[in-house]
Amino acid sequence: MNPHHEASPMHEAGMYDLLADYYKYTNPNLHIFYYQKHLQSLQKAFEQPNSIFPDTQRQKEYGKIRMLHASFDTPTVDIYINGIRIFKELSFKQMSNDLTLPVGKYQIDVYETGKMVSTYCSQKVIVESNLYHTFAFIGQKEKLKIYSYNEHPHVPYGETKLRFIHLAPKTDTLKIAVQNGDVIFPKLEAKTASSYLALSPMTVYLEARKIGTNELLSVFPPLALKENKAYSAMLLETNRTESPIEIILFAAN
């Protein structure tokens, strides 16, 4: 092929994006295939010295990011990074694919899917070298804010580990305990992450209680923890008064 007629990575990204949309409802496997190609082409575009990302020119260090939709009253969203739509149709409780980016500062804008009119959130984030960032946006849709949590995926062979991230800002500081048993995380404040608890692979049965008392907030479904995995258990708000928080579990490896 004549190099002068090769498509640019940004042009390829747009082409793969169209193909992913075309096959979304007719062929899920092709949809996933072309969406992955779309992300790969975007990463190539980010690495080009003359790309639209001037603060990352000639940058040889990278970090990894993923985005979590953690606002129950916010509809499905599209997420733009430096003005380019990267993640599409992210719904509540959904985690995006991973994306590797050059180290630097990035502008993230969150819009309702298909409606690039006014943002739900417009915020700068920093991608650091050799770190794996989970960026979660929480709050009401008019006042969304992005919070960053670094993942630590290394686990000794044959073991597992678990931590909690409190993403339900209307719920005060709480504690996590074994159901009808001992407390394992005695103080978890809103918008913070606990330390990791090293465990043997197992299924755990946990609950959330109000701090300073044993009053029950929520009983969680069983959490199956597999070997060689590092888990973050995300606590999210619900609209149910009898159970104001719920849990979703994500592995970082």
What is the domain-level CATH number for residue 185? 2.60.40
Give the strand pairing for 62-69 and 132-138: parallel
Helix, strand, or coil (residue 22) = helix
Q: How far apart (Å, rounded) are the C-alpha atoms in residues 184 and 168?
A: 19
pLDDT at position 47 is 63
Same domain, 204 and 141: no
Beta-bridge partner residues of 90: 77
* pTM as predicted: 0.79
Q: Are residues 13 and 66 in the same domain?
A: no
171 and 247 housed in the same domain: yes
Same domain, 106 and 88: yes
> Do 139 and 174 fall within a single domain?
no
Domain that holds residue 175: 160-251
- Pick the last residue of a domain from 125, 151, 177: 151
In a domain, 97, yes or no: yes
Domain with 90 in it: what CATH number?
Answer: 2.60.40.1110
**Cα(213)–Cα(209) distance, integer angstroms:** 7
Neighbouring-strand partners of residue 104? 127
Per-residue pLDDT, averaged over 2-20, amounts to 66
Higher pLDDT, 24 or 41: 41
Take residue 39 and report the two structure tokens written for it: 């992300």
Least confident of 42-46, 104-108, 174-178, 179-183: 42-46
Quick one: 146 and 167 in the same domain? Answer: no
Distances (CA, A) of 35 to 99, 171, 205, 252: 12, 37, 36, 21
- Are residues 237 and 72 in contact, defined by beta-carbon separation less than 8 angstroms? yes
Contacts of 129 (CB under 8 A, 6+ apart): 61, 62, 63, 103
Locus of tokens 């794996």: 132
**Total number of domains in the chain:** 3
Q: pLDDT by residue (tens digit) across 194-251?
A: 999 999 999 999 999 998 888 899 999 999 999 999 999 999 998 777 778 999 999 9
Distance CA 74, CA 91 (A): 8
Q: Does any domain span residue 1? A: no
**Does 187 share its domain with 170?**
yes
Section 37-51 average pLDDT:
68
Tell whether 95 and 70 lie within a shared domain. Answer: yes
